[in-house]
Chains A and B, each alone.
Chain A
Amino acid sequence: MDEEILSGLRVLDFTRVLAGPYATRILADFGAEVIKIQSKKTARGAESNTSGYFTTFNRNKRSITLDMSYPEAREIALKLTAISDVVIENFSPRVMSNWGLDYQKLKEARPDLIMVSMSGMGQIGPWRDFVALGPTIQALSGLTYLTSFDQDSPMGLGFSYADTVVGLYAVVAVLAALEYRDRKGMGLYIDLSEYEAVCTLMGPTFLDILVNRNDVMPQGNQSDYMPAAPYGCYRCLGTDRWCVVAVFNEMEWQALCRVMGNPGWSQEQRFSTLSKRKKHAEQLDELLGQWTGKRSAEELVGLLQDAGVPAGVVQSAGDLAGDPHLKARDYFVQIEHPVLGKTISDASPIKFSEMRRADWKAAPLLGEDNQYVYRELLGLKEGELSSYLEKGIVG
């Protein structure tokens, strides 16, 4: 393991469910020693060690049990902090300080500590204590409102996007803080807000509102600002089969017309320039949809891409699992799990020229690394550990 990029970096991981675990999974994938703090009480639902959710987001990590409701557990947490480079938590703002484990206190144990608190709203502000999961954040940031066909039926994304992106931001922050620590010898505390993280991904939307006083409305798959037409999602042959087509310039438009066999309508004046096509987008979509509806999505996308037109199949989970391109790029990785057997998960879209996945380890069982962490790393005596176990502190 010693040749990996983050070898030697130890991360104490208090996080649960998705946003935090996604961040620490990236650190673990690249060689950091991530010690996840669990307990019998918390290892339920998405945090149950043999659930698909847990297995997917906690591979390559270690698990110890430590019941934080005991004062002794907090002492142990301080000792663990002393031998860690990074502490990450995604509780509501008061939890860590109620345990006496805020940054000031942890810094006494480890002066150059890097700590990331990732909460829904951030550590300060009138909403700091608000309860938020991924969909809550997507609703508050405008993403749900704008990911809809019209303002009277808001829909939003069919998955918790916010958690993944804030996880990525947390890793950017940790790695930047490591650069800083390398140069300055100092640690840093990072207050990361999931709400703000999603707000940064709204692009120029807020500028448009604050500067131009424009009203930004939901537009479905369309965009007034995208210099493209046709630009949308079209029904294909079969049950719930669809493709997307995006035509940005004249060359792509000519290519599309060719693939369609230059039907009469495609040569009409109303579609002769990009701005005219945008103006008559509805009619254009209708006509294009009549053509796509008679063919399979795969066949169409093949024809269009061969002709140089940006197009894609709207892929389902089944399509993705069998996608030959993802397969050729080893996008999915197979790991043997001691209880679940063969497991499959998404590897990492960050592809280095050499990436060794042979050593990847399945997500840990509950408390799997108690012996290693408490005895070997902390140097507790056999008797001490068994007494903690008996009292349920390590439990």
Chain B
Amino acid sequence: MNVTSEGDSLLGEIRVLDLADEKASFCSKLLADMGACVIKVEKPGGDESRAIGPFLRNSPHPDRSLFFYYNNTNKLGITLNLENSDGREVFCRLVRGTDIVIETFPPGYLKGLGLGFEALSELNPRLILVSVTGFGQSGPRTNQKSCDLVASAMGGQMYVSGSPSTPPLKPFGEQSYYSASLFAAVGMLLALRKRNQSGKGEHIDISLQEAATSTLEHVMIRYFYDHIIPERQGSLSWNNGFCIVPCKDGFILVTLFHQWETLVEWMDGEGMADDLIDERWSDEKYRLQHRDHIIEVLKRWTKTHTTGELFDSGQLMGFPWAPIHSPKEVSESPQLEARDFFKAVDHPENNISLKYPGVPYRFKSSLLKQVRRAPLIGEDNVEVFQGQLGLTREEIQRLSSSGAI
């Protein structure tokens, strides 16, 4: 949640210039939501990520992209043409007063404009530059094109998601962008601490492919230690711990072997344990060998219940089970409601207030304040160019007519 008074905020003194498109706009949102002053720098006409849906009232428009709304809360917005020499000059002036620049251009693009890390460092030796690209700033694939689908495939997420009878499956949404943004945010905050010691900035290089690979949990461990290449196995988890089974009204994620005796007792109490009460099933190895039978018996039983019944009773008994919630059900979650997770954000130009997901952490309450919606295209040009850079009205007029802003 944003903190506008710089006195009592987590990151209130940190200034960020955000040149990122959809690949990393979430990164500076993380910092902005903790109080950093983030200026989103878009090309005239607006960033291309404004074309990504869904849109407010299902009507496509650059100022109505919910994707852009979500990833750009609490930022100021200016337009600036970096391919125009006047625009570059204004940008350089902004760089002198900033701590962090984040960008997602193809490697070498900024350098080609005379705005590479060395050049920016000369303007501001304390500057931290963070680059988030498909494959990073070095290596044989550095210039290849990417997107979330390519990053997820090349990063190893897809190969292990889906079932043996389906194609590999990409995690929903833009997960490589979000995980890369989280890694980039950690990198920035580390670089700030490093700068306290060295007085010097840093160029941080984040690759979407590596961000995806870094979330693989068991996958590389089993390769390196057990010489196994993990494959797709539908909803069954890699260690046979979990699988998804049907209920009367939907699906639930259940454990197969956790608290075995309690589980069998529970099912048996309802006359649904079948042969699982037999002595041979108390042997763990036997259970593992005959896993599919256990799943069959479980399914017959779970189909006699609702997801809610099994979730409530299971949790009371210490089973880490959960219904497969649709996003609509998530939006109605009593837990999220009790924690005030969704926050109302005003959109005065549309005369509405929209409910946004908040942040996952609770700090002491005085650090949390009202969220400001994402900027409209060039909304803060005057405030930034006039207020912060001290340009005159005439200068802004000139920059505007030369296409710089």
A interface vs B, CB < 8 Å?
5-6, 18, 26, 30, 51-53, 55-56, 121-128, 130-137, 139-149, 151, 153-161, 163-166, 168-169, 171-173, 175-180, 182-184, 188-197, 199-212, 214-216, 218, 220-221, 224-228, 231-235, 240, 242-244, 246, 248, 305, 308-321, 324-326, 328-329, 331, 343-346, 348-353
Contact = CB atoms under 8 A, between A and B. Distances in A.
Contacts of A160: 217-218
A155 B360 contact: no
Interface residues of B, number: 145
Given A143-B172, A146-B173, A196 B183 contact: no
A340 B270 CA distance: 48
B52 A226 contact: yes
B171 interface: yes
Interface string B190-210: 111110110000111111011
B357 interface: yes
Please provide the 4 A-B residue pairs with the shortest distance between their CB atoms, ordered closest to farther.
A52-B225, A158-B160, A175-B189, A146-B172
Interface stretch (B82-90, B315-323, B376-384): B315-323
Query: Which of the listed residues A51, A168, A183, A202 has the most CB atoms from chain B within 10 Å of its own CB?
Result: A168
Contacts of B389: none
Nearest to B168: A314
Contacts of B113: none
Given A159-B216, A176-B34, A221-B169, A206 B327 contact: yes
B320 to A, nearest CB: 4
Given A5-B190, A126-B338, A214-B58, A315 B159 contact: yes
Contacts of B47: none
A349 B253 contact: no
B327 to A, nearest CB: 4
9 contacts: A136-B253, A156-B244, A175-B193, A225-B54, A228-B147, A316-B230, A316-B231, A351-B136, A352-B190
Contacts of B288: none
A179 B186 contact: no
Given A200-B358, A209-B327, A240-B231, 5 more contacts: A158-B232, A308-B145, A312-B151, A316-B229, A331-B210
Contacts of B323: 139-140
B235 A156 contact: yes
A168 B161 contact: no
Contacts of B186: 26, 168, 171-172, 175, 350
Contact of A18 (B180, B217, B225): B217
A161 B213 CA distance: 11
A163 B342 CA distance: 22
Contacts of B155: 315, 320
B361 A163 contact: no
A147 B171 contact: yes
Contacts of B11: 176, 179-180
Given A141-B330, A196-B339, A210-B331, A165 B54 contact: no
Interface stretch (B37-45, B67-75, B272-280, B298-306): B67-75
Query: Which of the listed residues A132, A216, A221 has the most CB atoms from chain B within 10 Å of its own CB?
Result: A221
Nearest to B151: A312
Contacts of B161: 147, 155-159
Interface in B138-181: 138-141, 144-147, 149-163, 166-175, 178-180
B19 interface: no
A32 B364 CA distance: 25
B360 A166 contact: yes
B215 interface: yes
B189 A204 contact: no
B162 A136 contact: no
B66 interface: yes
Contacts of A136: 253, 320-322
B203 A328 contact: no
Nearest to A18: B217
B327 A211 contact: no
A390 to B, nearest CB: 34
B147 A352 contact: no
Given A160-B217, A242-B167, A145 B327 contact: yes
Given A155-B234, A163-B217, A326-B213, A309 B145 contact: yes
A305 B357 contact: no
Given A207-B69, A310-B145, A233 B183 contact: no
Contacts of A193: 339, 360-361
B328 interface: yes
B132 to A, nearest CB: 10
A159 B315 contact: no
A146 B189 contact: no
Contacts of B391: none
B320 A122 contact: no
A310 B146 contact: yes
A235 B229 contact: no
Interface string B321-338: 111111111110111101
A165 B156 contact: no
B14 interface: yes
B116 interface: no
Nearest to B142: A325
B51 interface: yes
B363 interface: yes
A192 B211 CA distance: 22
Contacts of B141: 305, 325
Contacts of B221: 52-53, 56, 345
Contacts of B20: none
A329 B58 contact: no
Nearest to A197: B360
B284 to A, nearest CB: 13
B359 A200 contact: yes
B395 interface: no
A328 B138 contact: yes
A316 B329 CA distance: 34
A127 B321 CA distance: 12
B139 A328 contact: yes
Contacts of B169: 147-149, 155, 220-221, 233
A139 B360 contact: no
Nearest to A208: B54
A245 to B, nearest CB: 8
Given A191-B362, A246-B149, A199 B318 contact: no
Nearest to A53: B221
Contacts of A311: 145, 150
B51 A142 contact: no
Contacts of A314: 153, 158-159, 168
Nearest to A154: B324
Given A5-B193, A165-B178, A212 B150 contact: no
Contacts of A128: 335
B231 to A, nearest CB: 7
B207 A329 contact: yes
B342 A147 contact: no
B30 interface: yes
A81 B53 CA distance: 48
